Amino acid sequence: MTEDTKARPSRGGRAGRSGTKAKAPAKTKAPAAAPDAVLVEAVGEAPGLTLAQAEAAAAGEEFTFEQLGLSEPVLQATRDAGYRSPTPIQREAIPLALKGRDLMGLAQTGTGKTASFSIPIIERLTGGPSRTRALILTPTRELCQQVEESFKKYGKHAGLSVISVYGGVGYEPQTVALRGGVDVVVATPGRLIDHIEKQNVSFDELEVLVLDEADRMLDMGFMPQIQKVIAALHPYRQTLLFSATMPPEVEALARKILRKPVVVQVGRRSQAATTVKHYVYPVPKQKKTELLAQLLSAEAMDSVLVFTRTKHGADKVVTRLHASNIAAEALHADKSQSQREAALKHFKEGKVRVLVATDIAQRGLDISGISHVINYDVPQQAEDYVHRIGRTGRAAKNGDAYTFMCADEIAMVRTIERVIGQEIPRISVAGYDFGT
């Protein structure tokens, strides 16, 4: 169960591809975490599950949300959303979070991590006093909005209030809501600190802190702000940290803020989504847009997310696609909040089938039915590749990831292959491959 699982029409097969045979993923060491942490890797081994639940999982029987011991209001919300069975990360994490354990959840993007913390928090807060008792920190406005929607979806029968707090929008409405009292605050660190310093919000009664996409927040330089927010919180709380990857910076943060956590890991570190097929297209830099336009002419390319390295590059690609009569919009940090929201809305509704974005979109976009992710520029960090391609192949649906590789990007592609533990087939298109 991810945040949106409405399927698009299936796409036909694509014949005539050639390339190297993918190798089996290489084994990696389990991640270290805070001192005395417990590592849970396989479904059914989590200390949060009862013996009967673990045996049922091991026997391959269907595991339902009812078996997690959730209250009727939350179960009704999952049924309303059309969900019956939790994903592996949800099956492992929810029982532990319900027990009040500190938790580090590591799983591929698109596996339902948001529900893994929103559902147990809703269970915990239902029927309690009306004051700010849960805080979720996220790296981007888009993810902030998505988490807020998750709480509203699963808490629709619980009577809880939730607000998202981020920059780029009006300050006063947030101030009024925070001072009036709200159960759950979902925030980006910078704007939240503004409200804390102006004493617009009190966390004296806070019970749960969540750091969502912790690795991304640290990549974006949020560590000083995170430390400042944590210093304003009550030390006796439950802390949940979720991430798709765990670089050393995340491990160091976990050691500082988690108390004897359980580490729930589904899949191996830096593993790419298994529902995605990968392909590399060798192409000279000056021919990338021309190749993109040609690929977009295929009917199967019905919802395409294109990643560029720079904001200027995203705008340039959109302009060139418009010249080829291909509807596209750009999404990056130089766009106003209203422009970003409009671009996402048009893409979700299918009014444009191509969204060209910088890495601002590699986290927090849970859009149903993205058929293809195209790396117009090879990401400079292998971890970013994992997050980018995770925008497709979500909710157990299949997707394709294409990477355009010019001559000076070969080394970066090979680094990505080493990290994800598999070779990516090369697709040579006549007239575009720089080796021909």
DSSP strands (E only) in 43-202: 103-107, 134-137, 162-165, 184-187
First to last CA, the chain: 45
DSSP assignment letter at 300: T
What mean pLDDT is predicted for residues 321-333? 90
The region of weakest confidence among 9-13, 228-232, 342-346 is 9-13
Residue 290 shares a structural domain with residue 234: no
Question: How far, in Å, are 47, 114, 266 from residue 39 at the CA level?
Answer: 10, 20, 11
DSSP strands (E only) in 213-360: 238-243, 262-266, 276-282, 304-307, 328-331, 354-357
Asked whether residue 261 is assigned to any structural domain, the reply reads yes
Q: Any residues with CB less than 8 A from the CB of 48 and at least 6 apart, and which?
A: 92, 93, 94, 95, 96, 97, 98, 99, 101, 262
DSSP assignment letter at 325: T
Q: Is the pLDDT of residue 146 over 50?
A: yes
pLDDT digits (tens, 9 = 90+) for 99-144: 999 999 887 666 788 999 999 999 999 887 778 999 999 988 888 9
Residue 240 shares a structural domain with residue 289: no
DSSP strands (E only) in 244-319: 262-266, 276-282, 304-307
Q: Is the pLDDT of residue 68 over 80?
A: yes
Q: Comparing 282 with 253, which gets the higher pLDDT?
A: 282
Q: Which run of H or of E encompasses 292?
A: helix 288-295
Q: Which run of H or of E encompasses 178?
A: helix 172-180
Question: Number of folded domains in the chain?
Answer: 2
Domain boundary among 245, 266, 287: 266
Residue 56 shares a structural domain with residue 201: yes
Domain boundary among 234, 266, 298: 266
Query: In terms of pTM, does the model score above 0.85?
Result: no
CATH number of the domain enclosing 119: 3.40.50.300
What mean pLDDT is predicted for residues 192-208? 94
Asked whether residue 17 is assigned to any structural domain, the reply reads no
Residue 318 shares a structural domain with residue 210: no
Residue 227 shares a structural domain with residue 283: no
Provide, rounded to the nearest whole percent, the portion of the chain with pLDDT above 70.
78
Domain boundary among 214, 247, 266: 266
The reported pLDDT for the residue numbered 196 is 94
The reported pLDDT for the residue numbered 397 is 59
Provide the domain limits for residue 364. 276-420
What mean pLDDT value characterizes the chain? 80
Beta bridge partners of 135: 185, 209
pLDDT digits (tens, 9 = 90+) for 331-376: 887 888 788 888 888 888 888 999 998 876 555 566 667 888 999 9
